[in-house]
C-alpha cells in the first residue's frame, strides 16, 4: 500500500470510533478502487489490533433500490466484526453513530469454509441457516455522500447488524416479501428477489470476491446479502422492525441520540 494511504485508513478508523463525520477523500485526495480496498483492509486492521473479531462479510449495492438511493452502481463488499452485533428485540444506542440508517437484509450463516468460487447450485450446500436481518449503516462521510471509492474505503458504511431467528428452510428464499416498519408504519416494502434476482447470488459473488482476494472465509461466518429496499434514517425513540415473509422478523428500539455532523 502507498504510504500516503495509511493516514486515510487511520482517519476512517478514528471517524468510526468517535462517530465524527469526515469530508470525502475523493474531493482532495482521489484513490482508485484497488487502493480503496487496501485502505479498507488497513482500517480494519486497526480494529483487529484493538481486539475486535471478524465475524463475516457484507455485500452492498446488490439491489437497484440501494444503487438508486445512493447513486452508486457497482457491487461492493466489506467486513463485519463482533463489535457491530446488536441485540434482536433490544435497544439500539444511537450515541455511537453519526447519522445511522437501517435497511432490511437477509443474513446467511455458513456451514463450510468458502475457499473457492461457488456456483448458485453449490451455494446452498455451504449454508447452515438464513435469518431476517437489519443492517445499520453509518457513512463516516458528511451528509452520507460518497463516491464508490470513498464508500469502499469506509468499509462500505458498515456499523451495526441485528440478526433475527435462524431458519434452515432455503426453499422460499428466492422471492419472499420484505417489509420494514418504523413505529409500526410500513416504510419500505419489497422482495428478496430484488437482491441480485436471487439472494443466493450474493453468496456466489462473495465466493468470487473472496477467491480473487485469496481469502478463505471460515465456517460459522455471517454474510449479509445486501439490502432489498432503500434505507431509512433512525431517530431517537424510533422502533424499527423488518419482516421477511416465511422467515419471521427482527426489531430494535432506538435509545440515545446520534452525534450528527458536529465538527
**Residues engaged in binding Mg ion (CB under 5 A):** 135, 227
For the record, the C-alpha cell of 218 comes out as 471460515
Q: Which of residues 125-164 bind ligand OOG (CB under 6 A)?
A: 135, 137, 139, 151, 156-157
The single residue listed with the C-alpha cell 452520507 is 144
Separation of alpha carbons 259 and 139, rounded Å: 12
The option from ligand OOG, Mg ion, none interacting with 139 (CB < 5 to 8 A, set by class) reads: ligand OOG
**Cβ at position 12, least distance to ligand OOG in Å:** 13
Q: Which residue of 60, 104, 160, 164 would you call a contact of ligand OOG, by CB under 6 A?
A: 60
Residue 70 near ligand OOG by CB under 6 A:
yes
Closest alpha carbon to 245 in 139, 161, 156, 171: 171
The single residue listed with the C-alpha cell 475457499 is 115
Of 6 and 67, which has the nearer Cβ to ligand OOG?
A: 67
The option from ligand OOG, Mg ion, none interacting with 61 (CB < 5 to 8 A, set by class) reads: ligand OOG
Closest alpha carbon to 112 in 95, 126, 132: 126
Contact 254, 94 (CB under 8 A): yes
Of 59 and 251, which has the nearer Cβ to Mg ion?
A: 59
With contacts defined by CB under 6 A, name the span among 30-38, 41-49, 60-68, 203-211 that binds ligand OOG: 60-68
Q: Which residue of 136, 209, 227, 242 would you call a contact of ligand OOG, by CB under 6 A?
A: 227
Q: Within 10 Å of residue 143's Cβ, how many Cβ atoms? A: 11
Question: What is the total count of residues that contact ligand OOG (CB under 6 A)?
Answer: 13
Contact 132, 245 (CB under 8 A): no
Residue 249 near ligand OOG by CB under 6 A:
no
The option from Mg ion, ligand OOG, none interacting with 207 (CB < 5 to 8 A, set by class) reads: none
Separation of alpha carbons 248 and 123, rounded Å: 22
SS3 50: coil
Separation of alpha carbons 173 and 27, rounded Å: 40
Residue 7, CA atoms < 13 Å, CB-side half-sphere: 4
Residue 107 near ligand OOG by CB under 6 A:
no
**Cβ at position 231, least distance to ligand OOG in Å:** 6
Q: Which residues bind ligand OOG (CB under 6 A)?
A: 60-61, 66, 70, 103, 135, 137, 139, 151, 156-157, 226-227
Amino acid at each position: 500500500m502507498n504510504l500516503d494511504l495509511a493516514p486515510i485508513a487511520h482517519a476512517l478508523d478514528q471517524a468510526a470510533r468517535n462517530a465524527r463525520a469526515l469530508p470525502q477523500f475523493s474531493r482532495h485526495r482521489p484513490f482508485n478502487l484497488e487502493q480503496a480496498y487496501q485502505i479498507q483492509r488497513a482500517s480494519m486492521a486497526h480494529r483487529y489490533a484493538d481486539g475486535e473479531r471478524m465475524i463475516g462479510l457484507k455485500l452492498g449495492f446488490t439491489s437497484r433500490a440501494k444503487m438508486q438511493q445512493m447513486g452508486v452502481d457497482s457491487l461492493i463488499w466489506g467486513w463485519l466484526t463482533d463489535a457491530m452485533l446488536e441485540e434482536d428485540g433490544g435497544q439500539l444506542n444511537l450515541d455511537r453513530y453519526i447519522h445511522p440508517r437501517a435497511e432490511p437484509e437477509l443474513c446467511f450463516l455458513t456451514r463450510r469454509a468458502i475457499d473457492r468460487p461457488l456456483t448458485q447450485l453449490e451455494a446452498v450446500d455451504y449454508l447452515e441457516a438464513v435469518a431476517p436481518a437489519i443492517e445499520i449503516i453509518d457513512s463516516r462521510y458528511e451528509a452520507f455522500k460518497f463516491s464508490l471509492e470513498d464508500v469502499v474505503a469506509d468499509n462500505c458504511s458498515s456499523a451495526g447488524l441485528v440478526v433475527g431467528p435462524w431458519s434452515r428452510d432455503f426453499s422460499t428464499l428466492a422471492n419472499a416479501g420484505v417489509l420494514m416498519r418504523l413505529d409500526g408504519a410500513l416504510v419500505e416494502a419489497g422482495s428478496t428477489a430484488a437482491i441480485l434476482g436471487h439472494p443466493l447470488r450474493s453468496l456466489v459473488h462473495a465466493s468470487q470476491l473472496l477467491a480473487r482476494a485469496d481469502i478463505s472465509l471460515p465456517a460459522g461466518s455471517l454474510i449479509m446479502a445486501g439490502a432489498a429496499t432503500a434505507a431509512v434514517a433512525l431517530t431517537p425513540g424510533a422502533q424499527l422492525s423488518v419482516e421477511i415473509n416465511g422467515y419471521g422478523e427482527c426489531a430494535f428500539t432506538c435509545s440515545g441520540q446520534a452525534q450528527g455532523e458536529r465538527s
